[in-house]
Amino acid sequence: MAQLSDLEYLKLSKGRRLGYKVGRFFAKIPQATLNAFQRIGGALKSGVTAIGREAKDIVTTFVNGDWKTKLSYLVMGFGCLARGQILRGLLFLLFEIVFIGYMILSGAYWLSMMPSLGKVGPTETYDEIYDAYVHTYNDNSFQILLYSVLTIFFIIAFIYTWRVNIRQNKEAERILAAGKRLKSSKEDLHSMVDESFHKTLLSLPLTGIIIFTVLPLIFMILVAFTNYDGAHDGYISNLFHWVGLDNFNTLFSWKSASGTQSYAATFGEILSWTLMWAFFATFTNYFLGMFVAMAINKKGIKGKKLWRTILVMTIAIPQFISLLYVSKMFAKDGIVNGALMSLGWIDKALPFWEDATWARVSVILINIWIGIPYLMLMATGILMNIPADLYESARIDGANPWQQYTKITLPYMLFITGPYLLTSFIGNINNFNVIFLLTGGAPTNPAASSASGSVGYTDLLITWLFKISTGAESKYYLASVIGIMVFVVVSIIALIVYNLLPSIKNEEDFQ
Amino acid sequence: MKKFLAIVLAAVMALSMVSFASASSLAGEYEIKVWVADAIVDLTEAQIKRFNETNEDGITFKATIEKMGEGDAASNMVQDVEAGADIYCFAQDQLSRLLTAKALAKLGTKAAEFVTANYDADSAKSVTVDGTMYAYPLTADNGYFMYYDKSVIPDEDVDSLEKLIEDCEKAGKYFSFDLKNVWYSAGFFFGDAGCTSTWVMDADGNAKGVVDNFNSDKGLIALKGMKKLLDSDCWNSSSEVSAFESNSAIVVSGTWGSSTAKQILGDNLGVADLPSYDIDGTAYHIGSFFGFKLMGIKPQEDPVKNAALNKLAQFLTGKECSLERHASNGWGPANLEAQADEAVLNDPILAAVYAQKAYGQVQLAISGAWWNIGNVIADEAKDATDEEGLKQVLVNYENKINESLKLDANALLFVGAWNGWNNADEADTYYFKDGALTLDVPESDYMGGRIVKPADWGTDKGFAQVTTGAELIKDLGADNPDNNIVFAEPGNYTVTWDGTAITIVKN
């Protein structure tokens, strides 16, 4: 669809404007995809050139450098020590010694075991004297995988430090050649709280993120390429091994026996419900929460504080408790059905958790009840922030309340809460609590349930993942594959929506 | 030189072991972790203390006792065996999962003899997988039966499922029977309907084969019976005795609910075995699983500690401790001496358990996957609208078993007169190991049988495939439409199947 000029666009009727916008969105997709690939290609290219530049610099530094610099290639920090920068030199040297020591003592072992993830499994022998089976445990695939990843991180850190060491030599030579003085150890220390203060501050969080976030993440992704499960725990039962892309094939294979559904079909079903759920859970909460906030904010409403307090009370009770309680309330023999029956409104129990559609609608409705207070609180603050003169001038121009809402309130809200909407959508895709505590995935979907675990109509990807990893067969590898797929889905949605958000696109609008 | 040194070292080691062996002392202090159900934590602590004081081996356990429901022990063990308890209680259905995770130490030869001699025979069978024992039987009461509210259900109706449903519907009460859990729903298939589902497991907890005839006319009868309850508005899928508080008149549950049920219903509490359902004028009694709670030991790297733990397990599952648990919690012992005790014999709740046992299938090791496959039977059957639909449920069930368990392609069973054709109890005995099987054929009118693939009763392997040893079997000619192998004389035979031909040798 060709792009129209502003004038042409304004000539269109309301319906056609909408059609035009939708058409433009889809028309842009091929170009956007192409751009994305080009950007990736560009990034790769610049990455390669950067490495080439670094390599060239390393060589030229060596060729042009003096003997202190040359020796620093082998003994890190030698140049610093020889030029009187004792502290720096010692730190470099210490790091090299620690690194070499670690590699010899254990790093080399972990790396050598990495391709096989363990060679000798556990053994069992009968000890006649004590009438006992004696177990010996040997290689530990889990540790091998973990420590080899850690070792690779360490090697990367070493290479980086080695590079820094060379660059510093070059720098030092340049400074000395210019006839200036090098920094003393004392000055180095001082700089840590002065011009290098950002490094001092960031070093701890960065280390933390690498050890507690990045490392486990990489470890978990690698699990998807192994056969790590209940029967192969890597130490006690059996070693686990690399299986390549087998697990991805399992998840995306449409083949299955009659009576059982393939993983791919189950994945598709659960994914579509997950997206449906995330959509409804996010937007029902958003609009109803906003509505409640506006209703309470309205001039002339009495007892504003009371209404807010009542709503906030639901936040005060831990979700864990209220959800489990509500789940019981709506059970077949729960008090909701009991009350309705004794009132004579129904003569048989309503299948809140027994019927697929009922259960899906029920979880969305109950989620509204849980979510509104949060939205109400947030919206209240934002609504009070909208300049009253906007409404005043709108009223003078004859705008009715609906027009005021669509032209002032909603754009303003969307502008401010756009990123929140995105995160809450993503949060709802992974909303384990509500689903697991309310229904546990029930009612069961017999076709999708198989030997490796039951699957229900209200199961999200995340609860399915949980069931697979804690089920009878503890298929951690499959859970990992699903985890990766959730990441892919979430990142695609996040990237697309993020770029469409008014708060990102039209950053200046409300400033 | 090195070799010589190794020999000397080995000799010294062997000698030292022999010299210690004569003493074979277990004396010492051991730090252990114990998992038992919440209800018996204090009791177990006292019992271990008593063990420390009274045992003659000089063993002292410094035990950390943690509460862990028997139903959760496996999943916690599987997650991290290293951090798991050294000795722990678990329900029998988790045995295969624990085997898969290698979380159970095999019992030694003497320990196995001890189990055979001192515990209920069925319970001893239930801890045996592929000829090896893996745990000590703790209780023999893990079955289910019916608790009912006498103010709603007249005593004369408790034998008929139809009448019970009618009573509940009339009173607007619920009939709680957790059919969404196959442990309960399988009851319909067992009982008088006469289905079996018996698994041949290996030491890794993998299924090698299964004798399962749910997908049959018998299974259809069972499903029709179940459908009566499923279709009623009074059905509530729960096994919690507390359901009496939320409008249930009947709850199918086990001994663990007895004290709660007494509390809620007081004098109105009735206990009975499960009812019968009527299909085409015949009454079929609902069966049940009869299971056990077991006490297992985590594999140890130190044989001495393992031996000491065995002593403790024998003590804890012994007469005295079993009777204490019966007195305090009503648990029915698996220990033979304890079973013969007056207090146990006169227990009305255990009487209901044993009455129901007559219709029960003794629960042996079952593939963990079966629970997942079976749990959906009730859901599917509820959605079925006609007989064809019900048949499809059973077909799906069988397909899932065959597909998902990827049964050993070589798994074969020899069923026949010698094991009642489908006597699943003995499935392990008539299983072909590496294509060969040795069996005793007892004297009977018809000493015949056929080789079948588990879960597939095909008639393609039998008389016609016998190439060697044809003189040992009868040629019935046209009287043998099912291709059965009929032995001419009783005796001990070895039968081999090599993929194309059958060889029979008399031993």
Buried b / exposed e along B51-64 (16+ C-beta atoms within 10 A): bbeebeeebbbebe
Indicate yes or no: CB of A449 within 8 angstroms of CB of B205.
no
Out of A137, A259, A452, whose CB is closest to B372?
A452
Indicate yes or no: CB of B307 within 8 angstroms of CB of A132.
yes
Count up the domains in chain B and report the number. Answer: 2
d(CA A25, CA A41): 24
The contacts of residue A323 (CB under 8 Å, 6+ apart) are: A366, A370, A433, A434, A437, A438
Q: Which tokens go with B205?
A: 């907890």
In angstroms, what separates the C-alpha of A344 from chain B's closest C-alpha? Answer: 12
pLDDT tens for each residue of chain A, 511 residues long: 677 788 888 888 888 888 888 888 778 878 878 888 898 999 999 999 999 999 999 999 999 888 999 999 999 999 999 998 899 999 999 999 999 999 999 999 999 999 999 999 899 899 888 888 999 999 999 999 999 999 999 999 999 999 999 999 999 999 999 988 888 888 888 888 888 899 899 999 999 999 899 999 999 999 999 999 888 888 888 899 999 999 998 888 877 654 567 888 889 999 999 999 999 999 999 999 999 999 998 888 888 889 988 888 888 888 889 899 999 999 988 899 989 988 989 888 899 998 999 999 999 999 998 889 999 999 988 988 888 899 999 999 999 989 999 989 998 888 888 889 999 999 999 999 999 999 988 888 888 877 777 889 999 999 999 998 887 778 899 999 999 999 999 998 888 888 777 777 766 666 5
Indicate yes or no: CB of B304 within 8 angstroms of CB of A130.
yes
* B313 within some domain: yes
CATH classification number, A263-505, choose in 3.40.50.11400, 3.40.50.720, 1.10.3720.10, 1.20.1300.10: 1.10.3720.10
Out of B24, B205, B400, whose CB is closest to A451?
B400
Best of B22, B30, B78, B248 to disrupt the A interface by mutation (most A CBs within 10 Å)?
B78
d(CA A215, CA A231): 25
Starting at the earlier edge strand, list the strands of the sheet with B235-236.
B235-236, B174-176, B248-253, B145-149, B269-272
A&B contacts, CB < 8 Å: 158
Structural domain of B38: 18-139+291-337
pLDDT score, position B16: 47
d(CA A67, CA B339): 89
In angstroms, what separates the C-alpha of B367 from chain A's closest C-alpha? Answer: 9
d(CA A412, CA B226): 59
What three-state secondary structure class fits B26? Answer: coil
In angstroms, what separates the C-alpha of A252 from chain B's closest C-alpha? Answer: 17
* B374 within some domain: no
Instruction: Residue B118: give its domain's CATH number.
Output: 3.40.190.10
Write out pLDDT tens, residues B373-412: 888 899 899 988 899 999 999 988 888 887 766 655 556 7
* B245 within some domain: no
Q: β-pairing, B360-362 with B413-416?
A: unpaired
Out of A135, A235, A335, whose CB is closest to B301?
A135
Q: Which residue has the tokens 């700089």?
A: A191
Chain A hits for B233, CB-CB cut-off 8 Å, are: 348-349
In angstroms, what separates the C-alpha of B297 from chain A's closest C-alpha? Answer: 11
Indicate yes or no: CB of A236 within 8 angstroms of CB of B103.
yes
Based on the fold, state whether residues B420 and B323 are members of the same structural domain. Answer: no
Indicate yes or no: CB of B369 within 8 angstroms of CB of A472.
yes
How many beta carbons lie within 10 A of that of residue A324, not counting itself? 13
d(CA A150, CA A110): 9
Chain A hits for B373, CB-CB cut-off 8 Å, are: 449-451
Best of B246, B370, B375 to disrupt the A interface by mutation (most A CBs within 10 Å)?
B246
Chain B hits for A136, CB-CB cut-off 8 Å, are: 301
In the listed set B337, B360, B375, which residue is the last one of a domain according to the structure? B337
Closest CA in chain B for residue A136: B301
In angstroms, what separates the C-alpha of A210 from chain B's closest C-alpha? Answer: 25
d(CA B178, CA B184): 6
* B222 within some domain: no
In angstroms, what separates the C-alpha of A359 from chain B's closest C-alpha? Answer: 15
* B491 within some domain: yes
* B380 within some domain: no
What three-state secondary structure class fits A155? Answer: helix
* B68 within some domain: yes
Chain B hits for A332, CB-CB cut-off 8 Å, are: 174, 236-237
Best of A123, A126, A128, A135 to disrupt the B interface by mutation (most B CBs within 10 Å)?
A135
Based on the fold, state whether residues B22 and B134 are members of the same structural domain. Answer: yes
Based on the fold, state whether residues B417 and B331 are members of the same structural domain. Answer: no
Best of A136, A138, A237 to disrupt the B interface by mutation (most B CBs within 10 Å)?
A237
Closest CA in chain B for residue A263: B404
* B437 within some domain: yes
Indicate yes or no: CB of A230 within 8 angstroms of CB of B243.
no
Global ipTM: 0.77
